[in-house]
């Protein structure tokens, strides 16, 4: 039996990215539970139609804010997971910088689009 830690930064990952990955994973779990409670358990008829979701978001502004954070944490966590898998291939520092740039671009694009869509669905954007 080994005494190795359950989770530790990989070479090339750094403590900050590792901590963000672990922290975002915990937050995803908590927000996922909250998401199910708010959108499926506490909602008047359980599963909501699109029109009911829009009305629900407009009547309870904390819900779309929660969903926005959920989106950002899921995007960050998933892309850090992809990066972690790619680290197993032991890329050169130059390749890793390129991969980082692509993953950042994907993450920012997905997050901005998701937040924009959330704003449009709630009607906050006019």
Phi-psi region of 46 (alpha: psi -120 to 50; beta: other; left: phi over 0): left
For residue 59 the two structure tokens come to 């009547």
Range picked from 12-16, 55-59, 68-72 for highest mean pLDDT: 68-72
Choose between 43 and 117: higher pLDDT: 117
How does pLDDT run across 13-37, given as a tens digit for each residue? 778 888 888 888 888 899 889 888 8
Is the model's pLDDT at 50 over the cut of 60?
yes
pLDDT bracket for residue 95 (50, 70, 90): very high
Token pair for 82: 């992809």
Q: Exposed/middle/buried for 3, CB within 10 Å: 0-12, 13-18, 19+? A: exposed
pLDDT higher than 90, residue 98: yes
Q: Over the chain, what is the mean pLDDT?
A: 84
The model's confidence at residue 82, banded by pLDDT at 50, 70 and 90, is very high
Question: pLDDT value at position 107?
Answer: 97
pTM passes above 0.85: no
């Amino acid at each position: 039996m080994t005494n190795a830690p359950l989770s530790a930064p990989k070479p090339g990952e750094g403590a900050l990215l590792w901590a963000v990955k672990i922290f975002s994973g915990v937050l995803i779990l908590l927000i996922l539970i909250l998401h199910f409670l708010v959108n499926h358990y506490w909602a008047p008829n359980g599963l909501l139609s699109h029109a009911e979701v829009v009305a629900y978001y407009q009547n309870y502004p904390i819900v779309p804010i929660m969903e926005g954070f959920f989106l950002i944490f899921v995007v960050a966590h998933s892309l850090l997971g992809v990066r972690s898998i790619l680290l197993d291939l032991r890329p050169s520092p130059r390749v890793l910088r390129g991969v980082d740039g692509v993953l950042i671009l994907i993450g920012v694009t997905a997050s901005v689009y998701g937040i924009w869509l959330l704003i449009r669905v709630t009607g906050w954007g006019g």
